[in-house]
Amino acid sequence: AVPTAVMVSTGKGAELGVLIKGGEALQRAGDVSTVVLDKTGTVTEGRPTVTDVVPAAGTVHASAAGRDALLALVASLESSSEHPLADAIVRHAKDQGYAVRAPEAFESHTGRGATGVVDGTALAVGNERLMADWVINVAPLRADAERLAGEGKTPMYVAVDGALAGVIAVADPIKETSREAVRRLRALGLDVVMLTGDNRRTAEAVARAAGIDRVVAEVLPDGKVAEVRRLQEQGRVVAMVGDGINDAPALAQADVGMAVGSGTDVAAEAADVVLMRGDLAGVARAVELSRRTMRTMK
């Protein structure tokens, strides 16, 4: 039989928008020593918007018309991608009134970007790793990309027909509740780590804004599981908090997997706890609730 204290606590959690799936999950939450937070959609709003389009100097894209044409090309390619960054570019282009058309070819490169063909033009959009794969020299725009990343934005390089054409930056502000939630987690004596596929500079700027001092960035999707396992091997009891499909394996690996409610069903299914309000204060609530319940039962 489920002890009354557990039933009362899971009920109280649900009232607060923290769905704890059973007594075992409730019990484990109080033992957590490290909280790993995914960046996009967990610490941040997860609704990125385009802030900058910087064409490469001395190219056909450097004029106003060239820059607009570049944005329309990139948006057309990204219309085939499901990535939130792609979505931001498509929305931005449509808002500006550009025609977004379907690409003739499209390939997604996980943790790197996208490539394909639009109107007979070969395109690659993504991070430095993708550009390296395609032997594109990013040196002419690296300073711009680093400046944008230092502002917490995600810069994406664009290559057209094998040559560097520009950088597009997207910003995804932190949730207004994230900073206070992180403070609360630390007040509970927990280590807080942010984990992301995004580039290091961007991640560090975002972490700083949220009051997080440990960052693991440029992680490929299966790297998230490995990072959780590494912490567990160090004796940490790990809560992983994420929202995306790509977070599901890490949520399952963690001692306590927590899905933010606005996230995908896949993440919610893999999780032990669902934070219905999408607010990281729910992580602290789950830990507090667990500790109190376990004290009651002793």
The residues that are catalytic are 38
Residue 40 sits in the site that holds ligand ADP (CB under 6 A): yes
Strand partners, 167: 54, 157
**Least distance (Å) between residue 219 CB and ligand ADP:** 7
Smallest gap from residue 184 Cβ to ligand ADP (A): 24
Query: What are the strands of the beta sheet with 273-275, ordered from one edge?
Result: 18-20, 273-275, 256-260, 238-242, 34-38, 191-195, 214-216
Question: Judged by CB under 6 A, does residue 264 bind ligand ADP?
Answer: no
Nearest to ligand ADP by Cβ — which residue? Answer: 197
CB of 221 to Mg ion, least distance (A): 10
Binding mask 130-169 for ligand ADP (x = CB under 6 A): ------------------------x-x-------------
Residue 83 site contact among Mg ion, ligand ADP, none (CB < 5 to 8 Å, cut-off depends on kind): ligand ADP
Residue among 29 and 165 whose Cβ is closer to ligand ADP: 165
Q: How far apart are CA 89 and CA 75, in angstroms?
A: 6
Footprint on this chain of Mg ion (rule: CB under 5 A)? 38, 40-41, 244
Contact 104, 117 (CB under 8 A): yes
Residue from the set 13, 55, 166, 197 that interacts with ligand ADP by CB under 6 A: 197
Among 25, 100, 114, 240, binds ligand ADP (CB under 6 A): 114
Tell me how many degrees the CA angle 257-260-263 measures, rounded to the nearest 5.
110
Determine, following the binding rule CB under 6 A, whether residue 125 of this chain makes contact with ligand ADP. Answer: yes
Tokens of 127: 């991070």
Q: With contact defined as beta carbons under 8 Å apart, do 38 and 244 qualify?
A: yes
240: left (phi over 0), alpha (psi -120 to 50) or beta: beta
Q: Which does 154 bind (CB under 5 to 8 A by kind): ligand ADP, Mg ion, none?
A: ligand ADP
71 binds ligand ADP (CB under 6 A): no
- The two most distant CA atoms of the chain are separated, in Å, by 73
Task: Compute how many other C-beta atoms are within 10 angstroms of the C-beta atom of residue 146.
Answer: 13
Neighbours of 97 (CB within 10 A): 8
Interface positions with ligand ADP (CB under 6 A): 39-40, 78, 81, 83, 85-86, 111-114, 125-127, 154, 156, 196-198, 221, 244
